[in-house]
Structure 1
Amino acid sequence: MSDEPWHQGGEPACMLHLVCPACGRVRERPGSAVCEHCGVRLAEETVALGDETGGRARDRDSAGRARNARPRDGLGRPLPYGAEGVTRQPEGVVRSPEETLREAQRLLDAGMPFHAHEVLEDRWKASPDDERALWRALAQLAVGLTHAARGNAKGASALLSRAADGLAPYAGASPYGVDAAALVTWARARTGGRDGILPPPPLHRR
């Protein structure tokens, strides 16, 4: 997870941390101090957004792993330290593919796509190499929905496009019942930023 203070949460699976907070586009050079798309200096944007850590030492969980403890709202947006936030999904939970899909779907149905992406990321981290692209794409789809619900149409479009690209190779296979073909069709129809907050088809055939 990035140490940069503008970081909004997320791991490389979903690229939530690579979305520029100013223009909403996915940054291709995350180490740069300037967004290559809109030219905003990220140091200036940090001041506008507020420092994630508030000058504190970096948060870590009970195992010593970096884990931002700042409270967040229902869409994963950081709140001031001390505010009452929405409980995040526990990190590192080992679930079967079927359990992952059920829990992610439950959270999507409840209007909590940020939390769904955390569940899908847990599976991405735990899955064998030949399945990681599938879970990464599903996590990206959940992040696209998160950006749409936050009102960030550009970020939603960028992530849904990447999710569609990642799911396309599975369209004829439907691993674990994932309806990849329907999800690709839905995501591609919304990469222009229109209707981005509409719920997608179910992640898997029930």
Structure 2
Amino acid sequence: MTENPRDRDGEGRARNARPRDGLGRPLPYGAAGVERQPEGVVRSPAETVREAQLLLDAGKPFHAHEVFEDAWKSGPDEERALWRGMAQLAVGLTHAARGNTAGGARLLLRGAGGIAPYRDPHGLDVSGLVAWARELAARVDPVEGRAVAVVDAGREAPRLLG
């Protein structure tokens, strides 16, 4: 029996090298995919917000989530919950656009709860983002067989700055 080889990065850690589409779904090896965000990039808060907004506007919330995740992992402890919440908003939009509306709604609400205690740090429009997340979550959560609208990630992208 042969072992299934796993994709590994230069340091030997498991990394899926399959190309991905704009919503982060793996594509077959050899397919043309969307360029992936490099991991572990340390950015200023302004650079984080600017890069994430460009990705959200381009309909790539999965990739925006990776930018927020870098900020969450590299930023100061007092902002970890902020950046984790922002990542959850982006991945909630990702799931809703992929058709996982129940999961998307849960992540949108979790992200909104995570950022709600903050008072517009780095120019982020926290109250606007919380309202956006709650409204989208209510619209996509499949309650009692209600038909769920298809979510276009680019059109649904939130404005991050106030």
Which runs of structure 1 show a deviation greater than 4 angstroms over 4 or more consecutive aligned residues?
Answer: 194-198
Query: Hey, what's the Cα distance between the residues in 2 that align with 1:90 and 1:161?
Result: 27
Deviation at 1:103, TM superposition (A): 0.2
- Tell me the equivalent position of 2:124: 178
- Structure 1 residues 108-139: Cα deviation after superposition (integer angstroms, max 9, x where no partner): 01111111111111111101111000000000
Percentage of matched positions with identical amino acids: 66
User: What one-letter code is carried by the residue in structure 2 that aligns with 1:204?
Assistant: L
User: What one-letter code is carried by the residue in structure 1 that aligns with 2:108?
Assistant: L
Query: Hey, what's the Cα distance between the residues in 2 that align with 1:73 and 1:98?
Result: 26
User: What one-letter code is carried by the residue in structure 2 that aligns with 1:133?
Assistant: A
Higher relative contact order (CA 8 A, sep 6+): 2
Residues 16-55 of structure 1: pairs in structure 2 closer than 5 A: none
Deviation at 1:161, TM superposition (A): 0.8
- Tell me the equivalent position of 2:134: 188
User: What one-letter code is carried by the residue in structure 1 that aligns with 2:12?
Assistant: G
User: What one-letter code is carried by the residue in structure 1 that aligns with 2:122?
Assistant: Y
User: What one-letter code is carried by the residue in structure 2 that aligns with 1:177?
Assistant: G
Residues 140-179 of structure 1: pairs in structure 2 closer than 5 A: 140-170=88-118, 173-179=119-125
Unpaired runs of at least 5, structure 1: 1-54
SS at 1:133 equivalent: helix
User: What one-letter code is carried by the residue in structure 1 that aligns with 2:137?
Assistant: T
User: What one-letter code is carried by the residue in structure 2 that aligns with 1:59?
Assistant: D
User: What one-letter code is carried by the residue in structure 1 that aligns with 2:5?
Assistant: A
SS at 2:54 equivalent: helix
Unpaired runs of at least 5, structure 2: 141-147
Deviation at 1:63, TM superposition (A): 2.8
TM-score (norm 2): 0.84
Deviation at 1:200, TM superposition (A): 4.2
- RMSD, matched Cα: 1.7
Q: Are the counterparts in 2 of residues 183 and 200 from structure 1 also a CA contact under 8 Å?
A: no
SS at 2:92 equivalent: helix
